[in-house]
Each structure stands twice: as C-alpha cells, then as structure tokens.
Amino acid sequence: MRGNDRGKYFMTLMNSKSSNRLKENLEKNVFVYTSELSPERGADLSKMKGIYELLKDRVPAFNITDNQGANMKMSSLAGSIYIKQAGGEPIFQQTCRDRNRMALESDLLGAAAFGVKNILALTGDYISFGDHKHAKAVYDIDSVNLIEIVKGLNAGADMNGNKLNGPTDFYIGAAVNPESVPLEPQLIKFEKKINAGCDFFQTQAVFDTAKFAGFYDFYKNFKNIKIIAGIYILKSAKTARFMNKSIPGIYITEQIINELENAPDPLKKGIEIAARTAKELKPLVHGIHIMAYGIEDKIPLFLDELEAENS
C-alpha cells in the first residue's frame, strides 16, 4: 500500500469510528435487520466477503460469529475488523468459553482500536458440541460478567480498576431465549444482563410466536432495552428435526415440520414460514436477526417475501 493510499485508508477508518449505525437506528426506533457472517475454517475470506457484498445494501449490521457451535473457525475479532474495513457494521461476538478475562479484555481493546462499535457478549456453547472435543473450555467468567467488563472499559478502566489509555465505546448486546422451557431462569438472567449494562438483545430463533408472547409480557416493562428477534430460515423437515434433536434451546413445532414435509418445494416453504413468523413478531420487537446457516444467499428471497407480505 502506497503512502497516499495508507493515509486515505486510515482517514476512512478513523472517520468510521465516529458513527454506529446500529445504535443510532435502534435509539431512533428505526426497525433494523441483522444477519450472521461466519469466518472460514482457513485464511481465505472470499466466501464471507461474497455474502457481505450480496447483503450489505439490505442488512445494515452483521454478527461475526465466534467459533459458532464450538467449531473452530477464524477469530471473530479478525472477521469484525475485516468487515469494518470493508465499510460494514460488524457485531463482534465474544464467547467466554475460549478465553479468560484478560484475553477477553485484550481482544475488546483491539476491536475498539479498529473502530468496531458493537459487541454481543455470550457464554458460549459447550466444547462437547463441536469439533475439538478434547479442548479445555475456559469459562473464567460468564456473559453477565463480560457485560460488566465492557461497561467498565467504556467508562475507561479494566476490570481491576486500572485506567485505560483511551476508553472504548461499545454498544453492548447479549442473547436471550424466549422459548426456553422453563422460561423463568431465562427471565432472571435477562434482567441480570440488563442490570449489568446491556443495551440490546438478539434472541435465539423464534418458531412459536405464542411462546414469545410470554417473554414479551416481561420485557415490555424495560422501556430502553431493544429486542432483535431471531428468525431461522429452514430448508427442510430433516433440518428441523436435526435442530430439535441436536441444538439446545431450539423448539420447532410439529406444525412447521409437517408444513415443510408436505411442501413441493421445502426451501420455498421455509422462507414463507420465516417471513410469516417475522411479520407476526414485527409489532413486538425493534428488529429481526436473520439466521440462514449455509443458505445465506437465500436471505434476499426472505426479505422479498417479508416485504411482499407487508405491502
């Protein structure tokens, strides 16, 4: 990179630090869409870049997943910086499974230095679910503690009270499962995350809006907290059954499975179901988080279907 090009690049990067589109939109009650980008199991980012280029004009912010499902991939930190440099709005996912508190703080400072503004604090899936089953999980802290750490970094100090040479400015997110059975432990953790300093939540995938209503009755009392509801695009009945069996916290109804099984085009039906669910949730939430693992190129079809249903 030539001297002039480097100067322009760093000027663009510094200018990007001053804004946070996700935060600005949510605080203005502008309905938002987010989606996921999973870094590769390797050093080639071309696939992630392709998905970003496909969706960037319709999805304002992207979760950069952190060894999703306890499967080893390139780091969320590297992916977040890459998307930021490409002009996108990353949501830096950080799990407590793989790092102790010092490493988590260090990565947060690194993200902030490159203008990353959004953090999603997660405890993380158990190692036994993934592809490195003999790895040693860390879990030095949990997601509530991580939120407290980020809040402290924003205030200019690490978790031991040491003053930082420049504070961070993260918009702090966390996860919640509105379909958890029983629901009460989720509600207790939800409130703990709010008290720790959480600004917004992305929910686990919602398949039963009647169950979501029970969660809504609780969360509507927290006026300043923003909720982005998770929507998963199913491609087949087989996928739905696998998720019910293998992914904790997922509850796909038999009605949905039967719809997929009896459809001439299961993927098309899955997109229709996702759009229908999203339409039912829109009056209750501040955004939709779109999950389409392996079929991210179908997300524009989902958005088309949702817009058609709303027209």
| Sign of the dihedral through C-alpha 52, 54, 57, 62 | negative
Pick from 78, 65, 63, 302: nearest CA to 201: 63
201 has which bridge partners?
174, 227
Supply the DSSP string of 30-99, one letter for each residue. --EEEEEEPPPSSS--HHHHHHHHHHTTT--EEEE-SSGGG---S-HHHHHHHHHHTT--EEEEEESSS-
For residue range 256-298, list pLDDT tens digits in order. Answer: 999 999 999 999 999 999 999 999 999 999 999 999 988 999 9
Lowest mean pLDDT, pick from 36-45, 114-123, 210-219? 36-45
Answer for the pair 60, 117: CB distance below 8 angstroms, yes or no: no
Spatial separation of the C-alpha atoms in residues 258 and 270, rounded to whole Å: 11
Question: What's the longest Cα–Cα distance across the chain?
Answer: 61
Give me Rg for the CA atoms of the chain.
Answer: 19
Pick from 299, 138, 26: nearest CA to 146: 138
Q: What is the number of other CB atoms lying within 10 angstroms of the CB of residue 92?
A: 29
In the predicted model, is pLDDT for residue 9 greater than 70? no
pLDDT of 12: 47
Answer for the pair 23, 117: CB distance below 8 angstroms, yes or no: yes
In the predicted model, is pLDDT for residue 189 greater than 80? yes
pLDDT of 14: 44
pLDDT of 139: 83
Q: What is the number of other CB atoms lying within 10 angstroms of the CB of residue 17?
A: 15
For residue range 39-97, list pLDDT tens digits in order. Answer: 878 788 888 899 999 999 999 999 998 866 656 667 899 999 999 999 999 999 999 98
Q: Helix count (H) and strand count (E) of the chain?
A: 12, 8
Average pLDDT over residues 123-152: 80
Confidence class of residue 159 from pLDDT cuts 50, 70 and 90? Answer: very high
Q: What is the number of other CB atoms lying within 10 angstroms of the CB of residue 107?
A: 18
Answer for the pair 207, 293: CB distance below 8 angstroms, yes or no: no
Q: What is the number of other CB atoms lying within 10 angstroms of the CB of residue 98?
A: 21
In the predicted model, is pLDDT for residue 16 greater than 90? no
State the chain's mean pLDDT as an integer. Answer: 89
Spatial separation of the C-alpha atoms in residues 282 and 303, rounded to whole Å: 13
For residue range 162-175, list pLDDT tens digits in order. Answer: 999 999 999 999 99
Q: Angle 32-25-180 (CA atoms, 0-180°, nearest 5)?
A: 45
Query: Domain 3-176: which CATH class?
Result: alpha beta
Answer for the pair 111, 64: CB distance below 8 angstroms, yes or no: no
pLDDT of 257: 96
pTM of the model: 0.90
Spatial separation of the C-alpha atoms in residues 221 and 146, rounded to whole Å: 24
- The burial class, CB within 10 Å (0-12 / 13-18 / 19+), for 177 is buried
Spatial separation of the C-alpha atoms in residues 218 and 58, rounded to whole Å: 31
Spatial separation of the C-alpha atoms in residues 88 and 77, rounded to whole Å: 14
Residues 6+ apart with CB under 8 A from 74: 39, 40, 41, 42, 43, 45
